[in-house]
Structure 1
């Protein structure tokens, strides 16, 4: 995976002024666009699209300072149809407009070319099992919320708090397959996992594929396939979020699996009364790499 990401970075540089065909590149590297974008975002700390934009604006800034071409030529070369659109993108990266940079030479915020390396630091082994499951469904109460990488998501908290206590009892009674109990389900996640992007959060349970869904509940399909199940214990939600990040930095680069499209799930096995600590299972849909 590390070599695939570095090849992706090289191709961004080779085709910086062109539209990058990530899907075609992923196929040549023996992986999928979905997995490549998810791993890039997790390891780089920014979506691939944001990295490309920053690199384009870094190169464009150097061209502006040199003064070899007019502003429109530079804008068109970097994929913008007008100086206005180019100016907005340029200002979003550098904090100043192209004309100020041409006149004053800065200030500029450069994006260096990335290089991915796998560093072995003797971290604690991840407690993982691979589960092969037929198709099942996730039923419960769904809502759209923004993605928040660190800390408690208040939008999810609000959604859960609005459910009456008896609804949790009803959902538990509906549960008919593994993973057992009330689940925290994430679906429709942007492959680049951009913070602030919208996703579907479902508070519910797993049922067999043929189980009818009550009319007042939402449903998310869980396609047949394999799942990597990570056992996590510690402070909540910090330990869970750290484990989620470690799947990208440690587990996927070291194991012959890649993410496949589908929902991810968290099953809470045990927790403190105030939810300050918890023992959880993180379920991620995977396929052989």
Structure 2
């Protein structure tokens, strides 16, 4: 499959450049997606951030060289991209639990992380609820933070950002400008939702905004908020099972993992170059469900 070929091609590129400076843009070109989307996809599929995977592979090869050659630590540090022997020693010790000098000794216990290889696997068969919709242009406005993607920090920082906005009264202010939409469903769209990846903020980061989605593009944006115009897209919309408010983070993060691990590899669609959204719905009895919106194109 094309998806497998591209992902394994990206791993091959990484392996061929472990002793060189690795350009994340080149990795994403091999995978035929943006730097931002590749890092997000890689992390969700493998449960390891891209930077951490590269670090583990480099330190695995460095340990093998220490045990099978007389190379100096300073030369090994430079070979694998560390600015100093001290920085290399700290990283080596963190992964292997011993210093590079001790690693040379016969019988020393070391760790090895082999290169990844992507395959289609059959999993538990749990259903995924999704729909594909066409949506014209709309806007989203609210408060923004630039999120660090390294080492899974986004999975920690985004829930914390929501907590901070709640404590600061920002969510209450957003509810004052949210257009109230009457629906026949017992569930209503929450006043504050999330959008991410709507502009390039540089390597290892993404923009994340908590705010109001204005599908009709009719609301006046208050001066204190950042506004994003979203282009027309075809979207795939995934829905979590119903849950309580305390489970929101757990349920939506698990949904993200399943989307990239299970749906995209065999769907016939690719992630289009556009933002992603998280929309939240609640009923009067404190039940919730969440939606993940991803722009797509056919392969």
Instruction: Give the TM-score normalised by structure 2.
Output: 0.77
Gaps of 5+ in 1: none
CA pair 80-242 structure 1, distance change in 2 beyond 3 A: closer
Check if 1:225 corresponds to 2:233: yes
Assess if the C-alpha contact under 8 Å between 2:31 and 2:38 holds in 1.
no
Gaps of 5+ in 2: 182-187
> SS in structure 1 opposite 2:295?
strand
- Matching residue of 2:110: 108
> SS in structure 2 opposite 1:125?
coil
The match for 1:64 among 63, 66, 73 is 66
- Matching residue of 1:93: 95
Distance 1:160 1:285 in 2: 28
Check if 1:285 corresponds to 2:287: no
> SS in structure 1 opposite 2:110?
coil
CA pair 252-90 structure 1, distance change in 2 beyond 3 A: same
The match for 1:250 among 262, 278, 281 is 262
- Quote how far apart the aligned CAs of 1:60 are: 0.4
Assess if the C-alpha contact under 8 Å between 2:44 and 2:257 holds in 1.
yes
Distance 1:191 1:252 in 2: 25
> SS in structure 2 opposite 1:149?
helix
For residues 51-108 of structure 1, give each alpha carbon's deviation from its aligned partner in whole angstroms, at most 9, with x where no partner exists: 1111111110111122421222222222234322322332332233222323576342
- Quote how far apart the aligned CAs of 1:39 are: 2.0
Assess if the C-alpha contact under 8 Å between 1:41 and 1:192 holds in 2.
no
CA pair 29-246 structure 1, distance change in 2 beyond 3 A: closer
CA pair 165-22 structure 1, distance change in 2 beyond 3 A: closer
Distance 1:252 1:191 in 2: 25
Assess if the C-alpha contact under 8 Å between 1:257 and 1:287 holds in 2.
yes
Distance 1:121 1:287 in 2: 25
- Matching residue of 2:224: 216
Distance 2:46 2:234 in 1: 26
Distance 1:41 1:199 in 2: 17
- Quote how far apart the aligned CAs of 1:185 are: 0.9
For residues 180-235 of structure 1, give each alpha carbon's deviation from its aligned partner in whole angstroms, at most 9, with x where no partner exists: 652421424999998xx775331323255575421122323323322211122222
